[in-house]
Structure formats: C-alpha cells, structure tokens
Amino acid sequence: MLISNESREGDWVNVLDWLPKKEPSRSIFTVGIDHGKNVKGASYAYTVYTSITEKTLLKKEKKKAYAILENTENIQAVQFKELKETAIVFHKAGTLVLDKNLQITSTFPGIVIVSKKRGCFSIAILEPTSKIEKGEIMLTGNVKIGTYSKTDNTSTLPIDFSENKGMPIYLSSK
C-alpha cells in the first residue's frame, strides 16, 4: 500500500480544457497499490468506504450490496442492488449486459449511471475529457427512451456534448 498526504500544486486544464488556468495548492490524500514490476494479465477489484466502522463494513460485505458486472481495461461497471443503479466507465466504445433483459452500448468513452426506480428509467451521461462532440447510447431491451425501434427492441439516445462540456446530461423515460 502506498499512502501519502501532501500539498500539491497543479491544475485540471490538461483534463478539462474549459476550466480556467490556475495553479491551486491543495492538500491531497492519496492511497494506491504497488503493483510491482512487469505485471501482466493480473486483475483485482476493491471497494472504498468512508466514515465506516469495522462492524458496519462486515455487514455490508456480507449483504453484498453491489455486484461487479465487468472489470476490464475497456469497461468497469458496478451494480448497486439497493439503489437500483449501475455505474459504468467506458474507457472506449463498447457494450455491457446489465441484466438478462437489458444491455447498454456506448459509441464513446465516458461515464454512465443507469437507474431503474418505480417504473422510471433514467440515465446520466458524462464525457469528462470535453473532447468528444457527439455520441450515442443504445439500450437494447424493454426500455423506451429516446428513439425507440420496435424491430430490434432498441432505444437510441443521440448525445450532443458540445454545449455543456464537462457537465452531465440527464435523460429519463418519465
């Protein structure tokens, strides 16, 4: 484990070019894992909990409040059962099976949060680099949002990131 708490200077312009150029100094707490040298083909997953007792942690882990759907270099996805939400990071365009009745496809790298609550389907989409202008999300399954095709049971959501760079886009079926 690598742990540090030190003051650092820097800006986010290389990641989010729409932010103003300034060099703030902040205290940064960092936790990392030393992977060693020349590691290939290995994988792992971890959970970060804040402000939690060991007793509560053991209860949460026993209950399995989440399921890791995919943890690859292309897609990382976690489904939170109680929240009825799935958080997905597409490191590049790809497709993820959410459950036996639903899959999601993204034509761009980005972050997507899918929520199914009380008969309402909602999705939050973020392209954090602010470099992609347009993309599409396709939902195959029994979800009617965006442009729905009965033929292939797919909803297509054209996404335009050009106006609100770096900001999430929210869409809902109701």
Q: Is residue 34 part of a domain?
A: no
Kindly state whether residue 54 falls inside one of the protein's structural domains. no
Residue 8 pLDDT grade (very low, low, confident, very high; cuts 50, 70, 90): confident
Mean pLDDT for all residues in the chain: 86
Position with higher pLDDT, 79 vs 63: 79
pLDDT in tens, 140-159: 998 888 899 999 999 999 99
Q: pTM to 2 decimals? A: 0.78
Q: Supply the pLDDT for residue 14.
A: 60
The answer to the question of residue 80 being in a domain is yes
pLDDT at residue 25 in the model: 73
Instruction: Please check whether residue 69 lies inside any domain of the structure.
Output: yes
User: Is 19 a member of any domain?
Assistant: no
pLDDT value of residue 9: 75
- Count of the separate structural domains present in the chain: 1
Confidence of residue 75 (pLDDT cuts 50, 70, 90): very high
114 occurs within a structural domain: yes
Mind listing the pLDDT tens digit for each residue in 13-69?
665 565 666 667 778 888 888 888 888 877 777 777 778 899 988 888 888 888 999
Cα(124)–Cα(83) distance, rounded to whole angstroms? 15
Q: Find the domain containing 72 and state its range.
A: 65-172
Residue 108 clears pLDDT 80, i.e. is over it: yes
- Indicate which CATH number applies to the domain containing 124: 2.60.220.10
Please give the pLDDT value at position 5. Answer: 87
pLDDT of residue 19: 61
Q: Express each pLDDT in 115-143 by its tens digit.
A: 988 878 899 999 988 889 999 999 999 88
Whether residue 87 lies inside any domain: the answer is yes
Domain membership of residue 116 (yes or no) is yes
